A and B are shown apart, each in its own frame.
Chain A
């Protein structure tokens, strides 16, 4: 600690250079924080649901509907506790930027398979009995200021009504929440009454996009999935059944492997930063070789000098990491509030990852200059050789 002042002073000997380097590091770690949060948001959606449910989709693509007759066959498979079905609606509320997911579902089956959603009995009853009704997640209701009884018009991008109109209007029958904070934070979607939707849509009647299956025993997920798929093997409607987590991962991969993309971007960013900071460190040590020689003259050992240079590298990298991650966390708090996205500002693990990255970076950029400082010969350095 006695040497901290000296290390700090040396770090800022060329203020402009250090600040510019620090700025590059801050930008890199800002990107690290933001991209990891996006990547985590995608994988958290997949991780969150776990493996307690299965999703059955058409083998070819989840965009292809499955016939409703499969429902009872799936229900008869041993190990299946409950089955629900859903159809993607793809509606726009006022403006495409107001995106949120809507699924047409059977009111009773939904809650049998997703007991994590909470809705009062009275509201469930309204959802069952009012034909053109929908229930909305609490987050969504908060965002748009909806309350029970409101009429919500949706412009479907897929489904026209019988008379060719693509505008559907649903009455808010209830506002559902989650059983805990996690589920509550994800209550930002809308469920439509499937009976009304199926009756009114112009095409595709009697079909559902996917089936959701609640398992009696989560350990038997793969055998139940295999049993379901084997029923429909070689039929015109072959199925693909997987855990809800795998289904979500597959869904997100439709728009690219986010994790892989994030890793590629971060690799490119940190490789560039490595060169920038490495150059700064090398230059910084090169221009004070005589000073390092004087320090050794005064009695500083080779090891102490080596550690001082490495500490400088770590200090600047750690500073960049902390400030960059701090900015990222602040931005994510603002973004998650304004965009209603589950962008967490980063947990302790992410911060530790950032610090570990800073440490690895500092070793990579500091080791050569530090070794040069360690091995310099006093008499040669003082003589300018």
Chain B
């Protein structure tokens, strides 16, 4: 039995939009084991991305606690949370969010600029990450010179280059065709099985969710259903 890596207790999140308070997550409890590959599904507005943001330390709950690998991240200051994210979480977005002015290798190097690694060590780590995603030959290309699938691979390389325990993926295949999406999902699966990354993936796509070990469904800020592969 794997240990619990992510533990959410009584997590609620509400936003104020146009002077109206909107409850996005409602007293949610969730345990995610280390090495899990979890797909979060649900209709738009169900709170999937909000939950992902809380797990990734991008946002903080209105009430409740988010404990990740023993760290209660809801109590961290902005700067400490930033440092925590840099060490523990890799992010993959639907639209890749690469820096258009940087080459693939410089994009992948970005998280390492926050470390004390030497330039040579950074270069080595970048080369390994690009090799893992199968893009060593595209290291010097800028994002506009890459296909969507390749861009997402670069984004994944950027997410894993600092060797975080957790990968947070928000609709990682939402902008890709079926074939490319399957390649990306297989890559995520490899990272989960071969490299032990704990992956939490938000998706609308049931086929994408099938790649995960566990599927969770959210509706109106509550967990409604769980399925195991």
Query: Chain A: residues with CB nearer than 8 A to chain B?
Result: 2-3, 5-6, 9-10, 12-13, 290-291, 294-303, 378-379, 382
Question: How many contacting A-B pairs (Cβ < 8 A)?
Answer: 63
Q: What are the residues of chain A within 8 A of B100 when measuring CB–CB?
A: 13, 291
Q: How far is the CA of A290 from the CA of B94 in the complex (A)?
A: 13
Q: What are the residues of chain A within 8 A of B114 when measuring CB–CB?
A: 298-300
Q: What are the residues of chain A within 8 A of B58 when measuring CB–CB?
A: 297, 378-379, 382
Given A3-B113, A290-B97, A299 contacting B102 (CB threshold 8 A)? no
Chain A residue with minimal CB distance to B119?
A2
CB pair B82 A300 closer than 8 Å = yes
Q: How far is the CA of A353 from the CA of B114 in the complex (A)?
A: 34
CB pair B53 A298 closer than 8 Å = no
The 8 Å CB contact of B91, one of A291, A297, A303, is A297
CB pair B111 A299 closer than 8 Å = yes
CB pair B99 A291 closer than 8 Å = yes
Per-position contact with A for B45-63: 1 when CB-CB < 8 Å, else 0?
0000000010010110000
CB pair B85 A294 closer than 8 Å = no
CB pair A302 B79 closer than 8 Å = yes
Report if B197 contacts A (CB, 8 A). no
- Shortest distance from the beta carbon of A59 to any chain B beta carbon, whole Å: 69
Report if B86 contacts A (CB, 8 A). yes
CB pair A298 B111 closer than 8 Å = yes
The 8 Å CB contact of A299, one of B85, B97, B101, B106, is B85
State which size class the interface on B falls in.
Answer: 20 to 34
Between A and B, 28 residue pairs with Cβ closer than 8 Å are A2-B113, A5-B106, A6-B106, A6-B110, A6-B113, A9-B99, A9-B101, A9-B106, A13-B100, A290-B97, A291-B97, A294-B97, A295-B110, A296-B82, A297-B56, A298-B86, A299-B82, A299-B83, A299-B87, A299-B111, A300-B82, A301-B78, A301-B79, A301-B83, A302-B78, A302-B79, A303-B79, A382-B97
Query: Chain B: residues with CB nearer than 8 A to chain A?
Result: 53, 56, 58-59, 78-79, 82-83, 85-87, 91, 93, 97, 99-102, 106, 110-111, 113-114, 158
Q: What are the residues of chain B within 8 A of A290 when measuring CB–CB?
A: 97
CB pair B102 A6 closer than 8 Å = yes
- Shortest distance from the beta carbon of A52 to any chain B beta carbon, whole Å: 60
- Shortest distance from the beta carbon of B86 to any chain A beta carbon, whole Å: 3
CB pair A10 B85 closer than 8 Å = no
